[in-house]
Structure 1
Amino acid sequence: MSRLSNKSASPLRYPGGKAKITQFVSHLLDLNSINGTYIEPFAGGAGIALNLLYADKIQSIVINDLDDGVFSFWNTVLTEPEYLIERIKKIPFDFADQEALPDSSVLQSIWEEHHYRYSKNRYHDMREKAFDFFMLNRTNVSGIIKAGPIGGINQDGKYNISARFNKQTLIDRLEMVYQHRDRIKVTNFEASHFLAQLAEERICDTSNILVYLDPPYYVQGKNLYNCYATDKIHELVSGQLLENNWKWLLTYDVAPQINMLYPSTQVQKFKYGIHYSANKKGNFQEYMFATNALTIESFANVTLTTI
């Protein structure tokens, strides 16, 4: 068991990653006597999920993501982590050894190789896609697959693609996930379909769960993610949440279109502040909605304001 932290232990970097509210979510588990399964239908880097699992706050986690790159990565970590680890060892740069850093032209060619393969998406081996996704996640600005490399195409910026690539740290994180593989389930459904499967208990038993949803930003999602939710998907997800009796929590960027999907008569509605570095840096307000069945209160670095 590890000490519960708001720092991410995920091998992935993610724009809008929510690991920083881990202690708040852990407090909700305690308030609501939940210790069974923690579920993320839009998992991404799964920062909160892994933190809770490693601290034994929860018995198991379910990581779901529609993005094939994300799914390929998590599936490979749980089944063949040695493939990823051996590939990492062969990468000719390491943040921990800047003296051995290759020339900028070599860094540029390495990034372009992974970017080209991933953009073509002609993989015959899921492991290859998993590794290319991982490399772009670790070497792109803010971990955004659609963004360019840290340091620019010519690798002449203040930082370069090694800035978030400490080999031993990444290997340790992959091995940590694998050590807990028997308590982790990974799926690859569109979120509303995932929730429909959950309602039929095809995913897991639903008597002792917390479902935490952090969908792609409504406004900026299409600019940040390969898989982003359409208006219809946002609507379908809200329908599933309002129809079922699970204990669930939902965070969103502040958008009136989302606010309309969750009537105050049916859910608890709040705003809270959070710091981001993706796209534009600073502290921003977000929505936090919760089922009326969930006991919820401000805790740690999360101060809720009722709306």
Structure 2
Amino acid sequence: MSKIKSPLRYPGGKSRAIKQILPQIPVNIREYREPFFGGGSVFFAVKQLFGQQIKTYWINDLNYDLYCFWQYAQENIDLLVAKITEIKQKYDTGRELFQDLTREDLKLTDFEKAVRFFILNRITFSGTVDSGGYSQAAFTSRFTDSSIARLTQIAPLLASVKITNQDYEELLFAEGKEVFIFLDPPYYSATKSRLYGVRGNLHTSFDHQRFADNMRQCQAKWLITYDDCPEIRKLFDFAHIIEWNLQYGMNNYKQGAAASGRELMIKNYY
């Protein structure tokens, strides 16, 4: 049986890093938390590997539209799939669909925000949603009937999972036993890249010093993926740092192929 993967294309996502990340996760954990959930690639891999051994799962993201998507994927996936399918059948051209979904005068319900997020994730450059532009190639090859149908596979994995839209700090200091936290924050060297949120507001406003200070105080076991740069090495000089390389899935506009980048895995255990 093939593994179920995230239905989202996510800039900076960790789908290509699963084989490197999973061996770093402690075996004896009872609660899994992910404060910067994004596309959730690591969560889906962990859920299928550990299953019921982990008693509690808590996922979180500050992007409200993304939060709405995961909420409806959990609570009413059939309704979500039906509406997305209806919209796909209505539009012959992707650019018209993109323009309708990005009008500034839109007043949307949470359900409509969930629908909009998924569609824009499929038809924008590298899944950048509100931070990127329309991609005809993505509309043709990524927004397919099969990509919509695959949404139904994730609902069982989201069952009983706690889903929140809070500051990451809430997940660091909430009480729990044998807690493990996986964190994939906005990268330091890409702070000006505007990948997340409306015009990149969730990326450019991230406070790396505050984050490092919070992680120093966090008592749970944690693992962070970060870009390798002197500033991050200095901020986390109190933790165990592992170097590795990741093939990025997000191409630069001027690149013919995705770049390979130096990465860090930072953790507070051995």
Which TM-score band (shorter chain)? 0.7 to 0.9
Shift of 1:166: 2.6
* Compared CA separation, residues 199 and 251, structure 1 to 2 (3 A): same
Question: Which amino acid letter does the alignment assign opposite residue 13 of structure 1?
Answer: R
SS in 1 for 2:12: coil
Does residue 15 of the first structure (1) align with residue 11 of the second (2)?
Answer: yes
Shift of 1:88: 2.2
Identity percentage of aligned residues: 26
* Compared CA separation, residues 212 and 160, structure 1 to 2 (3 A): closer
Q: CA RMSD in A?
A: 2.4
For 1:69-121, what per-residue CA distance to the aligned partner results, in whole angstroms no more than 9, with x for missing partners? 1111111111121221111222346xxxxxxx93xxx32211211122xx546
Q: Gapped runs of 5+ residues in structure 1?
A: 94-100, 152-158, 296-307
Tell me how far apart the structure 2 counterparts of residues 55 and 252 of structure 1 sit (CA, whole Å). 23
Q: Is the 1:218–1:229 Cα contact (8 Å) retained in structure 2? A: no
**Residue 101 of structure 2, aligned match among 114, 120, 138:** 114
Which has the larger share of helix? 2
**Residue 55 of structure 1, aligned match among 49, 69, 90:** 49
Does residue 165 of the first structure (1) align with residue 143 of the second (2)?
Answer: yes
Shift of 1:179: 1.6
Q: Gapped runs of 5+ residues in structure 2?
A: 253-257
| Alignment correspondent of 2:245 | 273
Does residue 91 of the first structure (1) align with residue 87 of the second (2)?
Answer: yes
* Compared CA separation, residues 183 and 50, structure 1 to 2 (3 A): farther
Question: Which amino acid letter does the alignment assign opposite residue 115 of structure 1?
Answer: T
For 1:223-243, what per-residue CA distance to the aligned partner results, in whole angstroms no more than 9, with x for missing partners? 211122635x32222122111
Question: Which amino acid letter does the alignment assign opposite residue 149 of structure 2?
Answer: I
* Compared CA separation, residues 221 and 77, structure 1 to 2 (3 A): farther
Q: Is the 1:272–1:287 Cα contact (8 Å) retained in structure 2? A: yes
SS in 2 for 1:219: helix
* Compared CA separation, residues 20 and 36, structure 1 to 2 (3 A): farther
Does residue 185 of the first structure (1) align with residue 156 of the second (2)?
Answer: no
Q: Is the 1:10–1:46 Cα contact (8 Å) retained in structure 2? A: yes
Tell me how far apart the structure 2 counterparts of residues 244 and 259 of structure 1 sit (CA, whole Å). 18
Question: Which amino acid letter does the alignment assign opposite residue 148 of structure 1?
Answer: G
* TM-score, length basis structure 2: 0.85
SS in 2 for 1:269: strand
* Compared CA separation, residues 229 and 49, structure 1 to 2 (3 A): farther
Q: Is the 2:124–2:138 Cα contact (8 Å) retained in structure 1? A: no
Tell me how far apart the structure 2 counterparts of residues 247 and 258 of structure 1 sit (CA, whole Å). 19
| Alignment correspondent of 1:216 | 186
| Alignment correspondent of 2:203 | 228
Q: Is the 1:115–1:132 Cα contact (8 Å) retained in structure 2? A: no
Q: Is the 1:191–1:237 Cα contact (8 Å) retained in structure 2? A: no
Q: Specify the structure having the higher radius of gyration (Cα).
A: 1
* TM-score, length basis structure 1: 0.76
